[in-house]
Structures are given as structure tokens and as C-alpha cells.
Structure 1
Amino acid sequence: MARPRKFEEDRAVEAAMRAFWDAGYEATSTQDLCAATGLGRSSIYNTFAGKHELFERGLRHYMDERDARLAELMEGDLPIREKVRTVLWWAVEPDPGDPAGCLVVNSLVELGPRDAKIAELLRRDNDKRVGIMRAAIEDARTRGELDAGKDPLALAHFVTATVSGLQVAKRGGAAQATLESIANTALDLF
């Protein structure tokens, strides 16, 4: 019995996402995508219309997964300090099976300045993540977990920027102790 096309597409998008995450958009060739997905060149172009569309689908897939995980955490019952610590440690101690860094951050640096469509997609994703964090921080402030004078939007932007910085530092080879020091410094605000 043949596997459904949707399954094959989802598997190919996941495999391509990981290839782009590891090497970046420009450095990932069509041949690399063929090797990663198990598809032939013509199948990639027939199914996805090309490298850019496959990249965009992979990036959206990555963002959807990460945003869902963030939303689930932020909507949970943990104190805000534990929620923020968890988010920071996702960058400090990522899944060992994942490529270094973050596909969103890598794409922002590589493509953001010259690909308006990807830049807009990344901006909307950043706004979504900041919004998720802001809501959790506002709730925590209302419950008295944070000083009433702390600005939830500024804190949400700060945590998001810190996570991005940790991702870049990790990809650049920063020592584990350095990453932990940065994360603990950020955590002191909570």
C-alpha cells in the first residue's frame, strides 16, 4: 500500500528543514536536499516548485513547532521565573540531535536583509513569540510574581533577544559555562 502524498511531503519538509538549519539556505544545494529528503531533483521541483518554497515550508514548520512548545509552556502553571528559565535553557542545552543554533535566527541573519518575504515571515513569528511571552509575564505581574513597575513587553523582547543571542553564541562555539552565565544573568530580572 502506497504512503499518502501528504505524509511524504511532511517527511520531506522535515528533512529539508533540518538540512537548511544545519547549513543555511545558500549553502544547501538541490543535491543536498535530494540526499536529505530521498527525493529526486524533479520530485522536489514538481512537489515544491523549488528550493525557496521548500525552505519557506521548512521554516514555517520549524516556527509552528517552536511556537506551539512556547505557548504550551507559557500557558502552564509554573511560576514565571521557571517558565523563563526553561526557555533560556532550551538555548543553553538544546536537544543533542538538533543542528547548532536556531533556524529562525540563522535565517534572519542570512536572508532577512535581502529576502523581503522571508523577513516578513520572521518578523511576524518574532511578534507572535513576544506576544506569547508578554501575556505570560503580564499574568505573572498581575499575580504578584513580578514587581508592578516591570514592563512585560520590554521583558518579553529582552528574553527573546537573549535567547537569540544564546543561539548565536552556541553556534559560534561558546563554552557551556558562558552560556549558563548569560542565561543566569537574564534570569536575575525575574
Structure 2
Amino acid sequence: MGRPKQFDPDAAVEQAMQVFWRQGYGATTPQCLVDALGIGKGSLYNAFGGKRQLFDLALRRYLDLQNSAVAELLDGCGPVKERLRKALHFVAQADLADPDRRGCLALNTAMEFGRTDESVMAQVQGMFDRIEGAFRAVIAEGQRAGEIDPGRDAEALAGLLLNTVNGMRLMARVDSGPDRLLRVIDTTVDLL
């Protein structure tokens, strides 16, 4: 009879997400994971199958968290432009508050893997598609309410917002403060 698991797999995935986010996939060894999770190598392989499988779980967790946080802000009440502004502020503040300036795990992963891993790229692209879809829905709502010009292409505007978010996340990794990001947010929302 095997010994019962001595760790919480959900907590382990959360901790692994932090490690991969801080170091990247390539720089994270199985030993790094074992040390960070406080488990034995056997437990790592028995519970998750290995580094790659644990990375997939960690990336999925990150993507779900990001999607739900943005969706919650966009689904709120109030004027559409203010909800969009709040969502962009949320992203900027979260990135700037991170003392390690890790940026976005999805973007970091896309840059690290490039187009070499279809499974990883499909997960990242799925996150981008969901966020862009949420932006598109809110923009269409704003168009129906007369807050955004109905003659504008909602899909193109949603793409602009997604690109803005991704650019902001990269800028937050190297910029020393919020001023530039706040200007980008205000200008982008005003352009709508």
C-alpha cells in the first residue's frame, strides 16, 4: 500500500506557477521545482508526470486567473469606457506592484517557446482570444449605448486593446513607474 500524498497538489501547482513565472520554463529544473514545492522528486513525477506536465498545469492556472480577473472587471456596471479603463489599470497596477517585474507569464511563455510548441501556443492564443472577445463584447455594448461610435470596427478596437495590454505588460517589466502606462491607458481609451 502506497503512502498518502503529503502535499496539496493545488498548492503545488500554484507554487510551480510562481517558479516558472519567475525563472521561465527553460531555466527551471526539476530540482528547482522539488526545492520550491518541498516535495521529493518521486512525488513530483508521481503526482504530475514531470516538469512539462506541471508547467502545463501552472500555465493553465495562470491563464484562468488572468481571464477571470479581466472578465470580472469588464462585466461590471457603469459606463463602458470606465470599465475598460479599470481593466487596463488593473493590469498595469498588478505588473508594477510585482517587485520582481515578472510581466505576464503568457507573454513570457510565448517569447520563450516562440512557435516551437503548438500545445503551449494554443493555450496562450486561447487566452488572447478570450480577452479579445471580452473586449469586443464590451465595445459592442458601448456602441449600442452610444458611448462608442457604432461605425467603428469592434473587432479591430478589441485587437487594439489586446495589443495595448500586451505592450503595457512588456513595458511594465522595464519601466520604473506608472506614468507612461497611465498615459497609454488614457490615450487608448480616449481613442475609442
After TM superposition, the score normalised by the length of structure 2 is: 0.89
Residues in 2 aligned to 1:129 and 1:14: alpha-carbon distance in whole angstroms: 22
Give deviations 1:103-162, integer Å, cap 9, x for gaps.
111111111321111011111221111111111111111111111112111111111111
Tell me the equivalent position of 2:23: 23
Tell me if the contact between 1:84 and 1:187 (Cα under 8 Å) persists in the aligned partners.
Answer: yes
> Greater shift after overlay, 124-133 or 173-182?
173-182
Q: 1:67 to 1:33 in 2, by over 3 A?
A: same
> Greater shift after overlay, 81-90 or 176-185?
176-185
Residues in 2 aligned to 1:80 and 1:98: alpha-carbon distance in whole angstroms: 31
Q: 2:124 aligns with which of 122, 125, 132?
A: 122
Tell me the equivalent position of 1:53: 53
Tell me the equivalent position of 1:64: 64
Tell me the equivalent position of 1:176: 178
> Percent identity among equivalent residues?
37
Tell me the equivalent position of 1:143: 145
Give deviations 1:51-97, integer Å, cap 9, x for gaps.
11111101111111111122222221121111111121123211635
Tell me the equivalent position of 2:88: 88
Q: 1:187 aligns with which of 166, 186, 189?
A: 189
Counterpart residue type for residue 185 of structure 1 = T
Residues in 2 aligned to 1:55 and 1:171: alpha-carbon distance in whole angstroms: 22
**TM-aligned CA deviation for residue 39 of structure 1:** 1.6
**TM-aligned CA deviation for residue 98 of structure 1:** 7.1
Tell me if the contact between 2:143 and 2:150 (Cα under 8 Å) persists in the aligned partners.
Answer: yes
Residues in 1 aligned to 2:99 and 2:42: alpha-carbon distance in whole angstroms: 28
Tell me if the contact between 2:74 and 2:87 (Cα under 8 Å) persists in the aligned partners.
Answer: no
Q: 2:159 aligns with which of 133, 149, 157?
A: 157
Counterpart residue type for residue 131 of structure 1 = G
1:120 is paired with a residue whose SS is helix
**TM-aligned CA deviation for residue 99 of structure 1:** 4.8
Tell me if the contact between 1:18 and 1:99 (Cα under 8 Å) persists in the aligned partners.
Answer: no
After TM superposition, the score normalised by the length of structure 1 is: 0.90
Tell me the equivalent position of 2:169: 167
> Greater shift after overlay, 171-180 or 74-83?
171-180
Q: 1:98 to 1:155 in 2, by over 3 A?
A: farther
Give deviations 1:33-57, integer Å, cap 9, x for gaps.
1122122221111111111111110
Q: 1:158 to 1:130 in 2, by over 3 A?
A: same
1:14 aligns with 2:14: yes
Counterpart residue type for residue 21 of structure 1 = W
1:39 aligns with 2:39: yes
RMSD: 2.0
Tell me if the contact between 1:21 and 1:99 (Cα under 8 Å) persists in the aligned partners.
Answer: no
Counterpart residue type for residue 74 of structure 1 = L
